A and B are shown apart, each in its own frame.
Chain A
């Protein structure tokens, strides 16, 4: 009851956009190659003031006090955004004490709100930053056929709270069950949306202030999600979508974006038997807005690298590489409503930037430098400290 009361009071809370002004000195990144400009296009300078990009041009002059960083002609992209993680909610999958991602045991349903369990000191966050991740959506997990709660948007800044926005969306999980029927889940969802005395978070969904996030893989469930959109006129974000390519025109027409694992090509469950490696390419070509995430062990623990390399693999199956990069930057910025401050390298956006050692979609590429809200990410991750402890003699 107490939890419900808190959730009811927790009105749509937005962290003030880049309100923290303590972002130290200004910065100019020189000789930056904007992905994916032509190889012979001019290199640019990116100037940063108070954590924001202030100018992008080949011709900028640095003031004396400005810190200058030479990108040496390497690709520079916005820091990446992963659209489905449990960052800050899970440290070790198998250790229940470190899991705060599910409200199932408390039967909270739509009232479960991950923001109250968020661990800003999670060691996974350091690793995510080192992998070039600047933004992440962190979502509740839990059983299928019901609401599992409210997710949050994280901005992985080093100079303040990483919680950028709570109530990023209300999650409803559809799909295969180990008992019962998925049909019952859809019935329950219709009942909840039609209930004149709806729960607070459902009311927000009906009012259009919070999107309904539906996890669905099989075509039949994706069709049900489209039907929900048509019947109630609410915003829907689809997550999973392994068989979404079968309904690509319908999803585009219904303006439903799809968050997917870009490298997924295996019939890993009965709901994903129709998966195709070119799912992302087909959806993009049909005009569906796509955004990327990782899966299985990688969901949060390799939330940057696994998604980025997966996006590269999607380009081997027909996805344009700019589209692959957009699905980790520009598209999620729009889908999650943070495009005013993030998603592109242009004046006014938060200075969330990565200089890469090569093509950002290649597995052999690594971040050379990562900036979030203008601050260089310098704090060592636990991985890095272990690495230094056990560095082989030949590498010392």
Chain B
């Protein structure tokens, strides 16, 4: 995937080099607001006699797993606990990779929502339909209560994306779900940035305020012009630095993951044509409620679909949403990721997977639950470009783990323990390890924690 991106952008750069001035500007750097995240120090943990679902499709019964130095050190049947390890009884419980959510608005559409004021809302920079230079990390409020509900549902890593009101909306950021006081203290070190684009009804909603774009045509024309400008910029060493064009130029080089909000199959087709025209790669269509209509094209183009289990019908472009979407994509060898978009789903992505699997079975597509677990673990890790570090239970990977009270796909199960880089960040039985954030401090809600 990465190779494809590099080669296609190289071809694009080469092609424009022939057509243009023959000289390119130095590769843009997006470095700013650098991560200050540090893994918490923690003792080794030894989880005994647990069912492991590894996030890659396998299930290992009655296994032990050792967490050491923040990594998954060993797991299997015949390993022993070091003397200094804390022993955790996994009997009757299930261990999975930490859940990774590729589409959230945490910290920028902060809870509680408030209709009458922009105080809670930093999702869209609506001053202009094309704003590649804005960064969601500069708006992120780490006290958003939703973060802690997601943690209690097993989410260890998440991406925050700008909203879909802009044709090109700016940079998202990938975060570790640990309590912090700044975005930088949660920012996933080394994770590539994501660029948000949008097609369809949301970006054309500018027309409500009598501002362009008024139609899908206008949205696509603005996007094509932006990519053309970025190509020209990449080939013009004398152009003054433009933060937005830096972002698009980096996307053309395959260094930024492009995430496009899209619902209709025909919209997705136009976006893929545009990507091929300008030589950038779309990492995923988000929401993608009609992806099930074009699974082969999506598989051929190596584009993921980040979907809900069953949302449909709240607007026209979501009218054809069916709950079999994820299962049908999977059955056609297309990449599937389940996402939340809203906090109500963000803490229950395991149940979203169960609903999607149930719908598939009902239609004759039988996908095993250990396989479907990949939709919220290893597949989103790959989509975010952090698959070498997290997203599966593999020796040497970061110990981002969830110990569930039982079958993670049963409604009655809860996340008992959540580890990030081997540190125990959430413990359902210990109020001192149930972060709530400052907004909820002193509010009229009492224990138990979420």
Contact = CB atoms under 8 A, between A and B. Distances in A.
B90 interface: no
B116 A178 contact: yes
B18 to A, nearest CB: 42
A275 to B, nearest CB: 7
Nearest to B411: A312
Interface string A257-286: 000000101111110111111100000000
A295 B362 CA distance: 25
A22 interface: no
Nearest to A366: B362
B293 A92 contact: no
A315 B411 contact: yes
A293 interface: no
A238 B344 CA distance: 22
B26 interface: no
A267 B331 contact: no
Interface in B402-450: 409-414, 440, 443-446, 448, 450
A41 interface: no
Interface residues of chain A: helix, strand, loop or mixed (majority): loop
Contacts of B311: 297, 301-302
A365 B358 contact: yes
Nearest to A95: B316
Nearest to A295: B344
Interface residues of chain B: helix, strand, loop or mixed (majority): loop
A366 B362 CA distance: 7
Interface stretch (A109-117, A166-174, A223-231, A388-396): A388-396
A362 B358 CA distance: 10
Most A-side CB within 10 Å, residue of B355, B357, B410, B411 = B411
Contacts of A106: none
Interface stretch (B54-62, B106-114, B124-132, B210-218): B106-114
Bin chain A's interface residue count. Answer: 35 or more
A157 to B, nearest CB: 23
B324 interface: yes
Given A243-B444, A394-B331, A395-B331, A301 B111 contact: no
Interface residues of B, number: 57
Contact of B444 (A92, A93, A274, A313): A274
Contact of A92 (B149, B319, B357, B448): B319
Contacts of B414: 316
A277 B450 contact: yes
Contacts of B112: 267-270, 272-273
Given A267-B111, A363-B351, A91 B313 contact: yes
Given A243-B444, A302-B310, A395-B363, A92 B328 contact: no
A192 interface: no
Interface string A66-96: 0000000000000000000000000111110
A95 B354 CA distance: 31
Most A-side CB within 10 Å, residue of B114, B201, B323, B412 = B412
Nearest to A178: B116
Given A267-B440, A313-B348, A94 B111 contact: no
A94 B263 CA distance: 15
A363 B354 CA distance: 6
A305 interface: yes
Most A-side CB within 10 Å, residue of B116, B323, B446 = B323
Contact of A278 (B149, B323, B354, B448): B448
6 contacts: A91-B313, A263-B348, A266-B344, A267-B145, A269-B114, A383-B312
10 closest Cβ contacts across the A-B interface?
A178-B116, A312-B411, A94-B315, A363-B354, A392-B331, A395-B364, A93-B314, A274-B444, A301-B313, A316-B412
